[in-house]
Amino acid sequence: METSRLDFLYLSEPDMIKAGVMDMEKCVDEMCEVYRVMGQGDYIMGGRNGNSHGQPIFFPDNPTCPGMPKNGPDRRFMTMEAYLGGKYRVCGEKWYGSNRENMTKGLPRSILMVMLNDADTGAPLALMSGNMLSNMRTGAIPGVGARYLAKKDSRVCGLVGAGVITRLSFTSLVQSLPCLEEVKIYDIIPAASERLAGFIRENYPQIKSIRIVDTLEQAICDSDVVHIATSGKDTPIIQSDWIKAGAYVSLPANIRLDRDFAAKHCMKVVDNWLTYEAWTDELTYPYSANIALLGCMLLDMVHDQELDVDDIISLGDIVTGKKPCRTSDEEIVLFGQFGLPTYDVAWGWHCLQNAKKQGLGQSLNLWETPMGV
């Protein structure tokens, strides 16, 4: 007998941890599947071209209405929405508020929630804590890139920036590259470098050498794998002659790099090129002046006719076999990332399946019978 009763599952952060949100090996596998589904075109995100990163709310510098928040560092609200097909066939969104002042109150800078909905009816399936979900999927993407773009015998890894995301990213990198045995760490805050070194030393005994270096150049030179994940106002400037032939360079953060070098001497891969093209509707040229990501630099280069758009590859096309992984062991591969709502939907879906199997979470009733029908 059909019923109009509607319930959904609420998953707290402890529920999410029990459901496996911290399982990096599974997260990397799930993100590979996301790229396979996206490479087949079986997804939709927001915006005019169905590929928007998300819709932000920024507050004014000088509000005229009483009570309206004032602009400040990392102060915004944002929704990131997507439909993801394949085995998922679900809609979802990540919604968050961000304010750097949160950290003075014992709160994370951003507080995130993820909602999943039935793709046919729109009915809510689950509302879940999103902070660790988001951190894990962000950390998994460099490892996905390494699985397809790095040389399998890569031994030396240079890490620039020693925060939480770098720690998670290294976890995914070392899973994808079992030959790694040497790590160099650079951060402008020495204590952060020490913490990251301690984490690697404690959890990865196969890493024979861990060195904290004094400069950006030392971290990058002679590294088979370079991962740059810095924050703040100072954008790292990378000299092209620092980058080793054949290196895989993972770039989830802002960077400055010689454009001619990138155009002529590097394979250029991004998480999803159509998402950067969506920014042509949302940002002003030069796009890299708004956000200094690799993808925005490539947008500028296409605009300035320094680069043919066909020279930029979305990772989904590599995962589905439409494009080659790399052309030679000497080729430098740049992998630009920024984060896609499809990641949140997929990893949320994965955790939801585990939660249901384990009987986790709290069932909440939306209605017994809806009003107004």
pLDDT at 190: 95
Q: Which residues, 6+ apart, have CB-to-CB distance to 154 below 8 Å?
A: 146, 177, 179, 180, 224, 225, 248
Q: Are 50 and 42 in contact (CB under 8 A)?
A: no
* 7 sits in which H/E element: strand 6-11
Q: What is the DSSP letter of 46?
A: B
What is d(CA 97, CA 78) in angstroms, rounded to the nearest whole number?
Answer: 7
Q: Are 179 and 152 in contact (CB under 8 A)?
A: yes
Q: Which domain holds residue 287?
A: 140-339
- Same domain as 194, residue 93: no
Q: What is the DSSP letter of 344?
A: H
Please state, as a whole number, how many other Cβ atoms lie within 10 Å of the Cβ of residue 266: 19
Given a cut of 60, whether residue 9 has pLDDT beyond it is: yes
What the block records as the tokens of 337 is 């990332």
Name which of 142, 155, 153, 162 is nearest 222 in CA terms.
155
Q: Helices 24-39 and 131-149, interaxial angle, to 10°?
A: 70
Q: Which domain CATH number covers 318?
A: 3.40.50.720
The DSSP line for 95-145 is EEEE-GGGGGGTS-SEEEEEEEEETTT--EEEEEE-HHHHHHHHHHHHHHH
- Same domain as 12, residue 147: no
What is d(CA 364, CA 125) in angstroms, rounded to the nearest whole number?
Answer: 10
In angstroms, the Cα distances linking 31 to 8, 256, 347 are: 25, 27, 8
Q: Which residues, 6+ apart, have CB-to-CB distance to 236 below 8 Å?
A: 160, 216, 228, 230, 253, 254, 255, 256
Residues linked to residue 211 through DSSP beta bridges, in sequence order: 184
Given a cut of 80, whether residue 232 has pLDDT beyond it is: no
- Same domain as 113, residue 223: no
The residue written with tokens 């560092």 in the block is 73
Number of folded domains in the chain?
2
- Same domain as 300, residue 334: yes
Is residue 97 assigned to a domain? Answer: yes
Is residue 33 assigned to a domain? Answer: yes
Percentage of the chain exceeding pLDDT 90? 96
Name which of 293, 301, 288 is nearest 336 in CA terms.
293
Which amino acid is located at 52 in the chain?
A: S
Given a cut of 80, whether residue 336 has pLDDT beyond it is: yes
Instruction: Label residue 80 by pLDDT band (50, 70, 90).
Output: very high
Given a cut of 90, whether residue 2 has pLDDT beyond it is: no
- Same domain as 327, residue 203: yes
Given a cut of 70, whether residue 351 has pLDDT beyond it is: yes
Given a cut of 80, whether residue 113 has pLDDT beyond it is: yes
Specify the pTM.
0.96
Edge-to-edge strands of the sheet including 312-314? Answer: 209-212, 182-186, 156-160, 225-228, 248-251, 332-336, 266-270, 312-314
Q: Taking the C-alpha atoms of 201, 20, 121 and 85 in order, what is their torsion angle to the nearest 10 degrees? A: 50
Q: Which residues, 6+ apart, have CB-to-CB distance to 67 below 8 Å?
A: none
Range with lowest mean pLDDT among 22-31, 53-62, 196-205, 231-240: 231-240
What the block records as the tokens of 112 is 């995130």
Given a cut of 90, whether residue 160 has pLDDT beyond it is: yes
Is residue 150 assigned to a domain? Answer: yes
Name which of 168, 174, 129 is nearest 154 in CA terms.
174
- Same domain as 326, residue 217: yes
What is d(CA 92, CA 78) in angstroms, rounded to the nearest whole number?
Answer: 14
What the block records as the tokens of 32 is 């590979």
Q: Which domain CATH number covers 20?
A: 3.30.1780.10
pLDDT at 1: 52
pLDDT at 368: 95
pLDDT digits (tens, 9 = 90+) for 131-147: 999 999 999 999 999 99
Q: Are 279 and 287 in contact (CB under 8 A)?
A: yes
- Same domain as 168, residue 314: yes
Give mean pLDDT, residues 184-203: 97
Is residue 249 assigned to a domain? Answer: yes
- Same domain as 168, residue 188: yes
- Same domain as 233, residue 116: no
- Same domain as 148, residue 49: no
Instruction: Label residue 122 by pLDDT band (50, 70, 90).
Output: very high
- Same domain as 23, residue 164: no
pLDDT digits (tens, 9 = 90+) for 32-41: 999 999 999 9
- Same domain as 274, residue 160: yes
Give mean pLDDT, residues 8-20: 98
Q: Which residues, 6+ apart, have CB-to-CB distance to 248 below 8 Å?
A: 145, 146, 149, 150, 151, 154, 224, 225, 226, 333, 335
